[in-house]
């Protein structure tokens, strides 16, 4: 582990990944579909992100939104996506698999950890909806994952701060506990109160579409309708500010 706080930024585009690097991020978690909590980005996005970045690149391995209990075909998709991420130069992968009873799916997780080697592995916020945080921590340590992304099984990392600090103490040097989920709103307090060495943030800004002609009667999604003529990208100035605040 390093004494310098590591700042990981969650992004959903090559443009945002480049902005995160510009802002001083140490690493990005590259996803698609952040509205659903993040799913696996396309091969093209992974390849171009790798070609345009010098910082660490973690690739989300999640075949869909929703829960973390996957069918056989979804698990096979995850296996294939890890192979693609390795081939395209990712430094690590991010996944989480639970059993129907809320425990960590040890067999499938072990398969993915082995497949990912020598890439580093983050077990994502599936941890936060697992049945028993302490048992899940023990299970993930035994699996050899490198870090756990967590909000302390609460709505935000600030609300879950007591559990995060406890997990840090229990984990020691065996696995990195990385807070995420509203972390950027109270980053200094989260870091100071928990003793974490890595943090996971977003630093968004809303940008307007370049479209001049706009048909506001048409929507490309279902009932939940994000704006058609704005989009969210990473703000390098916010990332720089968060980095400076977190590191004191």
Q: Could you tell me if residue 227 is inside a domain?
A: no
Pick from 128, 121, 75, 73: which is nearest to 104 by CA?
Answer: 128
Q: How many domains does the chain have?
A: 1
Give a yes or no: residue 140 inside a domain.
yes
171: helix, strand or coil: helix
For residue 73, what are the contacts with CB-CB under 8 A and spacing of at least 6? Answer: none
Domain with 56 in it: what CATH number?
3.20.20.380
Q: Consecutive 10-residue runs of the chain (248 residues): their mean pLDDT?
A: 82 97 97 92 98 98 96 98 98 98 98 98 97 98 98 95 98 97 89 95 87 78 66 91 87
Q: Residue 75 belongs to what domain range? A: 6-203+236-246
Domain assignment present for residue 223? The answer is no
pTM of the model: 0.91
What is the pLDDT, as a whole number, of residue 1?
Answer: 39
Neighbours of 51 (CB within 10 A): 10
Q: Does residue 36 fall inside a structural domain? A: yes
8 A C-beta contact, residue 98 and residue 70: no
Q: What is the pLDDT of residue 165?
A: 97
**Within a domain: 208:** no
pLDDT at 229: 76
């Amino acid at each position: 582990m390093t004494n310098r706080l590591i700042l990981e930024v969650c992004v959903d585009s090559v443009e945002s990944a480049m902005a995160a690097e510009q802002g001083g991020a140490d690493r990005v978690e590259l996803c698609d579909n952040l509205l659903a909590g993040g799913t696996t980005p396309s091969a093209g996005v992974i390849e171009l992100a790798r070609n345009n970045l010098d910082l660490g690149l973690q690739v989300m391995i999640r075949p869909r939104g929703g829960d973390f209990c996957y069918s056989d075909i979804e698990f096979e998709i995850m296996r294939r996506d890890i192979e693609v991420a390795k081939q395209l130069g990712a430094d690590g992968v991010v996944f989480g698999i639970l059993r129907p009873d809320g425990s960590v799916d040890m067999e499938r997780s072990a398969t993915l950890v082995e497949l990912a080697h020598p890439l580093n592995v983050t077990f994502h916020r599936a941890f936060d909806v697992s049945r028993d945080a302490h048992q899940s921590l023990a299970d993930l340590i035994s699996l050899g994952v490198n870090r756990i992304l967590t909000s302390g099984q609460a709505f935000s990392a600030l609300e879950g701060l007591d559990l995060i600090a406890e997990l840090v103490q229990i984990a020691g040097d065996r696995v990195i506990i990385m807070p995420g989920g509203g972390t950027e709103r109270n980053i200094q307090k989260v870091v100071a109160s928990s003793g974490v060495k890595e943090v996971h943030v977003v630093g968004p800004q809303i940008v307007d579409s370049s479209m001049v002609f706009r048909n506001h009667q048409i929507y490309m999604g279902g009932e939940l309708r994000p704006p058609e003529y704005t989009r969210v990208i990473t703000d390098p100035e916010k990332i720089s500010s968060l980095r400076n605040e977190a590191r004191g």
